[in-house]
Structure 1
Amino acid sequence: MSQVFIPKAMILAAGRGKRLRPLTDTLPKPLVPLCQTPLIVYHLQKLAKAGVRDVVINHAWLGEQLEQTLGDGAKFGLRITYSPEPEGGLETAGGIINALPKLGSEPFLLINGDVYCDLDFSQLVARANGLRSEELLGHLMLVPSPEFNPQGDFGLQDGRVQERGELTFAGISVLKPQLFAQMEVDFIALAPVLRSAMREQQRISGALYTGFWSDIGTLERLKEAQAQLCPDCKAD
């Protein structure tokens, strides 16, 4: 039996989180508590449970707090390294490109630091194993579009992600470093990079996830998620 490949993971944690102010005036967005636990800790626990050991976390706003709180990852059973960015950050793709030397040449998991999802991350590890032998450049988890994004981000047809459609990108994916080939570190968004790969022989696969998912991007959505996950908790 061939040995299972264990990918590295990257958690995107460099955003300013302006819509979560005043919480994010003194906290980096991934440390905002949901049911009394920082958002990013849920990801770290789920990654460790899935067998992942190496995690890269980028940061810009109040990044020193992330490093002080999470440390080297040992308390989660992980090895955490950090990828600092200039003030204001590098946007999503720019941050990934900046961190590529730490991520290596194999497929890696990419998780937005400001989402909550009860997806079993072992599914992502399995997909990373599959991508190693495929010509595809990535795999996206998609969710039914919430009220705040009714137009959707992408479509899904026969397991391939389409440039336009009624589904929303969950902020959870498996990507190959080759997706960013010949790209220099700069302020670059991820969506145009993904759409380019979709146009190029439909090189992005995807799956629809219908379990609990929430983009904790505003105070209102934070309260809504908390009401569902821990209705007896006091507001943090």
Structure 2
Amino acid sequence: MIRRSFRVAMVLAAGRGERMQPLSSVVPKPALALPDGPVIASSMRLAAHAGVDRIVVNTWHLAEKMAEAVAEVAIDGIEIVLSPESELMGTGGGLALARERGLLGQDGPVLILNGDSVVGLDLDALVERHLGAEDSVTLALLPHLDPDRWSR
């Protein structure tokens, strides 16, 4: 059981959502509505399953709308904190800014999730593998039918 392996989770939600244009030009991709709430709700609930005390969500693109979507996903007993960016900083920059602001805690692992994905991830197995290997980072990746689409 992964409970208490993580105290803090960061959900990445600052980007433009280019692949969802034109929808994401008016609503951030993680804020798009699904029957169970906004897309970001899936990642926030996964973080809650991990037993975190705090979920940090970075925002930039249409930040006000993103904040409204996050507010829809109140989870009892978990502090939800926004980390607004004045300019798009990318994944590493958003994490660094949240850390500088003291939002990620002093030590211990941080669960990092994408806010624009809905996945059926076996987080228990992933964490067990991570802790058993004593690695610094463990990534959960999914195969894609057209991986060349993402090469630069």
2:30/2:40 contact within 8 Å kept = yes
Structure 2 letter corresponding to 1:45: R
2:126/2:140 contact within 8 Å kept = no
| Alignment pair present for 1:96 and 2:98 | no
Residue 40 (structure 2) aligns with? 40
Structure 2 letter corresponding to 1:17: G
What is the CA deviation profile of residues 78-122 of structure 1, one whole-angstrom value per residue up to 9, with x for unaligned ones?
2111111123x1011111111112102221111111222101333
For residues 36 and 22 of structure 2, the distance between their equivalents in structure 1, rounded to whole angstroms, comes to 17
- Unpaired segments of 5 or more residues in structure 2? none
Higher strand share: 1
For residues 120 and 139 of structure 1, the distance between their equivalents in structure 2, rounded to whole angstroms, comes to 13
For residues 147 and 20 of structure 1, the distance between their equivalents in structure 2, rounded to whole angstroms, comes to 18
1:59/1:84 contact within 8 Å kept = yes
For residues 50 and 85 of structure 2, the distance between their equivalents in structure 1, rounded to whole angstroms, comes to 28
1:72/1:81 contact within 8 Å kept = no
What is the CA deviation profile of residues 127-176 of structure 1, one whole-angstrom value per residue up to 9, with x for unaligned ones?
66x27x93x321111222x12314888xxxxxxxxxxxxxxxxxxxxxxx
Deviation, 1:69, is 2.9
Alignment map for 1:90-169 (pairs within 5 Å) = 90-100=89-99, 101-104=102-105, 105-126=107-128, 130=131, 134=134, 136-144=135-143, 146-150=144-148
- Unpaired segments of 5 or more residues in structure 1? 154-236
For residues 108 and 72 of structure 2, the distance between their equivalents in structure 1, rounded to whole angstroms, comes to 22
Structure 2 letter corresponding to 1:111: L
2:40/2:70 contact within 8 Å kept = no
Structure 2 letter corresponding to 1:109: L
What is the CA deviation profile of residues 21-69 of structure 1, one whole-angstrom value per residue up to 9, with x for unaligned ones?
2211211110113456311011112222332231110010111122223
Bigger relative contact order (CA 8 A; separation at least 6): 2
SS of residue matched to 2:118:
strand
User: Which has the higher Rg, Structure 1 or Structure 2?
Assistant: 1
Aligned Cα RMSD in Å?
2.8
For residues 17 and 114 of structure 1, the distance between their equivalents in structure 2, rounded to whole angstroms, comes to 8
Structure 1 runs, 4 residues or longer, greater than 4 Å off: 124-128, 150-153
Matched-pair identity in %: 34
Count residues in correspondence.
145
For residues 72 and 114 of structure 1, the distance between their equivalents in structure 2, rounded to whole angstroms, comes to 15
What is the TM-score normalised by the length of structure 1? 0.53
What is the CA deviation profile of residues 173-208 of structure 1, one whole-angstrom value per residue up to 9, with x for unaligned ones?
xxxxxxxxxxxxxxxxxxxxxxxxxxxxxxxxxxxx
2:6/2:109 contact within 8 Å kept = no
2:6/2:111 contact within 8 Å kept = no
For residues 50 and 58 of structure 1, the distance between their equivalents in structure 2, rounded to whole angstroms, comes to 19
Residue 60 (structure 1) aligns with? 60
What is the TM-score normalised by the length of structure 2? 0.79
